[in-house]
Structure 1
Amino acid sequence: MTDPRAPKVLVIILNYRTPQMTLRAAEAALRDMPARKAELVIIDNASGDGSPGVLTREIAERGWDKGGRVRLILSDVNGGFGAGCNIGFAAGMSDGSRPDYFYLLNSDAFPDPGCLGKLIDHLESHPKAGFAGSHVRGEDGLDHTTAFRFPSIAGEFEGAARIGPITRVLRRHVIAPDLPTETARVDWCAGASVLVRAEMLDQIGSFDETFFLYFEETDLCLRAARAGWECWYLPSAHVVHIGSASTGMKAWDRVPAYWYASRRHYFVKNHGRIYAAAALLAKLAGGALHSLRCALTGRPPQDPPGFYRDLLRFGLGLPLERSAPVSRRTVSEENP
């Protein structure tokens, strides 16, 4: 008999031109979802490649659509990760009711058995927890950094400089510190595998759709923190993540314009233009130190080609000179 006190959970997976990968993620999620009061919705972010037909056929052939267990929603436009998730937030359960939790899972992420249950148990036992993020590893078994501090001026400088003595002095500002080995509060978690409390979204609102890709979950967690909600990282809940399957990030020759736009919007929106300008200067200064060190030691730079030139040009409002397309409609919704 179903426990009437059991929470309702809606799993949200966004698809962009990776239907078979999305089906694999959905299959892993279904195996880990509670048998009752849990559903999964796939949002196709205007793939334009036949994905809806593939997904519709496979969902029906596998019998996933029975009782509203799995639904497919088609978006007319690819508004990015946040916009796609917002469609799932608005959809709710198949009977029209509001879920207690939303589980955001990337289309190239596959939960281990028990992952979702551990995230649910944590939010159930911590009423002020708005987020619970899982441990994420690659197919090679290596950890993916998915628990972070909020970006700051000092953090931008340290992250760009990557010099031991500077990191030690600014250790409390490191944006991507070592992953906690035990359950711990963090500033924000990446959206590849994170459980979100619906009550919190009702209070603070959903994703800011100005962000096409990157910084949207950082912004949401910051808004939540300012409203008194907590974000937790659970190293005992595990997910395998391929990473960048639909963004193509690993094959980028240059960082796309939407990354710079998201970064600037985050700082201006949350801290003001003066702070945003100082954060830009800090990152440029740290990058200059890194480049100097590489030149003196013969080490290869760790930044993408043209990164700081593009960062400066974008900060000055100048167009980015490149041949690679950066259209919002050519990239996906996924968080790498």
Structure 2
Amino acid sequence: MTEVESPPAAPLDLVVSIINFRTAQMTIDCVQSVLDDIGDLRAHVVIVENGSGDGSDVVLTDWLTAARAENPDIPVSLVVSAENTGFSGGHNQGIRAMKARFYFVLNSDAVVHKGCLAALLADAEAHPETGLFAARLEYDDGTRQISCFRFPTPGSEMIRGAQSGPVTRLLKRYDIPLDMPPAQEQIEWASFAAIMLRGEMIDAIGLMDEGYFLYFEDTEYCLRARRAGWGTRYVEGARAIHFRGGSAPVKSLAKARKRLPAYYYASRTRLMYQSHGRIGLLAANLAWYLGTGLTYARLLLTRKVNTLPVEREMRDIWTNFMRPLGDRRAPK
């Protein structure tokens, strides 16, 4: 791992961690939106070039060199990782880069509105018992995205398998997405596309779990924080546009019902095991089978279903079942 210039010596109020993986121009746009919002805040941006292997390191280095020529004091550092360390590993590098009271984890496929950072920090000062502060995520037309959730359970896996209105209504208390904006007490976890973490909480519970390559690491971190007494809040006044899907293929594969990457199922298994133990993991898989069975029964009877399982999912949900904390199945 290498860094462009040394981080500031004095502790900061806020460090913004942004991972780049083959989205160099998108990352630059993201960083620029943060720089436009920093104002008088004692803040610094850390870009983690996460082993893209497509020349992104050169593009970002050239951009930062040119930016420093115009403004030698620009609060941006670049960390270049020799390999793709995943979402957790990438942001852990960003967080380790320098000390701050708060850390804003931000996707490269997002841009912040003016006032986003100040709103997050103000909410954090008003709620010292809370460890995580989720920004309002929007589509580019301003429509609010669903970004706050309940934890996955065997009940939610039955909902996911069944894809049926009656089943969802019957098991409503297990349905993962929350109505937006959510009641603060309902929030169990929130998207890490744009979320601020309290440094004191990180010191207490540790960094993100690098046993996750991609997906579910945000859920696990909120679960670990909650178990340690740190809650999650939604900050409506902190707005960010989230374009979605900048460097991850899972949503597009799922929409096309193509086979999902092994790391997705390895992360799902790890989370279910850490949340509910081995019996809970087994129950989640069996609940998904039951829900999926209802889907196929409905298909036979009515020829109408919302969706069917993706390719090979009936086998792939057993990924790492015997060793839930084993290989994270990162792509080679």
Is the TM value for this pair above 0.5?
yes
**Structure 2 CA distance for aligned equivalents of residues 23 and 297 of structure 1:** 50
Say whether residues 1:85 and 2:91 are aligned partners.
yes
Residue of structure 2 equivalent to 1:73:
79
Contact 1:157 1:285 in 2 (8 A): yes
Residues 247-326 of structure 1: pairs in structure 2 closer than 5 A: 247-252=248-253, 253-303=258-308, 305-306=310-311, 308-312=313-317, 314=319
Match of 1:12 among 17, 22, 28: 17
Amino acid at match of 1:234: V
- What secondary structure is seen at the aligned counterpart in 2 of 1:123? helix
Contact 1:15 1:44 in 2 (8 A): yes
> How far 1:259 moved relative to its partner?
0.6
Q: Unaligned regions of 5+ residues in structure 1, if any?
A: 1-5, 93-97, 318-325, 331-336
**Structure 2 CA distance for aligned equivalents of residues 59 and 218 of structure 1:** 33
CA deviations on 1:36-82 (whole Å, 9 max, x unpaired) are 41000000111111111110111121238733600000111111000
Contact 1:182 1:235 in 2 (8 A): no
Amino acid at match of 2:159: E
Q: Which moved more, 1:161-170 or 1:127-136?
A: 161-170
Residue of structure 2 equivalent to 1:148:
149
**1:295 and 1:238, CA in 2 relative to 1: closer, same or farther beyond 3 A?**
farther
Residues 201-280 of structure 1: pairs in structure 2 closer than 5 A: 201-252=202-253, 253-280=258-285
Q: Which moved more, 1:182-191 or 1:144-153?
A: 182-191
> How far 1:12 moved relative to its partner?
0.5
Q: Which moved more, 1:18-27 or 1:170-179?
A: 170-179
Residues 160-179 of structure 1: pairs in structure 2 closer than 5 A: 160-179=161-180
Residue of structure 2 equivalent to 1:110:
111
Residues 11-30 of structure 1: pairs in structure 2 closer than 5 A: 11-30=16-35
- What secondary structure is seen at the aligned counterpart in 1 of 2:275? helix
**Structure 1 CA distance for aligned equivalents of residues 306 and 299 of structure 2:** 6
**Structure 2 CA distance for aligned equivalents of residues 175 and 67 of structure 1:** 44
Contact 2:215 2:267 in 1 (8 A): yes
> How far 1:178 moved relative to its partner?
1.7
Say whether residues 1:44 and 2:18 are aligned partners.
no
> How far 1:162 moved relative to its partner?
2.9
Residue of structure 1 equivalent to 2:63:
58
> How far 1:165 moved relative to its partner?
2.7
Q: Which moved more, 1:266-275 or 1:202-211?
A: 266-275
Residue of structure 2 equivalent to 1:127:
128
**Structure 2 CA distance for aligned equivalents of residues 24 and 304 of structure 1:** 36
CA deviations on 1:187-233 (whole Å, 9 max, x unpaired) are 11111000110100100011110000011011111010001001011
Aligned length: 313
- What secondary structure is seen at the aligned counterpart in 2 of 1:286? helix
Q: Unaligned regions of 5+ residues in structure 2, if any?
A: 1-10, 323-327
CA RMSD, Structure 1 to Structure 2 (Å) = 2.4
Say whether residues 1:328 and 2:330 are aligned partners.
yes
> How far 1:258 moved relative to its partner?
0.5
Q: Which moved more, 1:147-156 or 1:291-300?
A: 291-300
Percent of aligned positions with the same letter in both sequences? 36
Contact 1:112 1:239 in 2 (8 A): yes
Amino acid at match of 1:127: P
Structure 1: 4+ residue segments shifted above 6 A: none
**1:296 and 1:143, CA in 2 relative to 1: closer, same or farther beyond 3 A?**
farther
Residue of structure 1 equivalent to 2:159:
158
> How far 1:238 moved relative to its partner?
1.5
Amino acid at match of 1:177: L
**Structure 1 CA distance for aligned equivalents of residues 318 and 29 of structure 2:** 41
> How far 1:265 moved relative to its partner?
0.7
> How far 1:313 moved relative to its partner?
5.0
> How far 1:143 moved relative to its partner?
3.2
Residue of structure 1 equivalent to 2:195:
194
> How far 1:303 moved relative to its partner?
4.5
**Structure 2 CA distance for aligned equivalents of residues 295 and 143 of structure 1:** 37
**Structure 1 CA distance for aligned equivalents of residues 114 and 293 of structure 2:** 45
- What secondary structure is seen at the aligned counterpart in 2 of 1:9? strand
Amino acid at match of 2:96: A
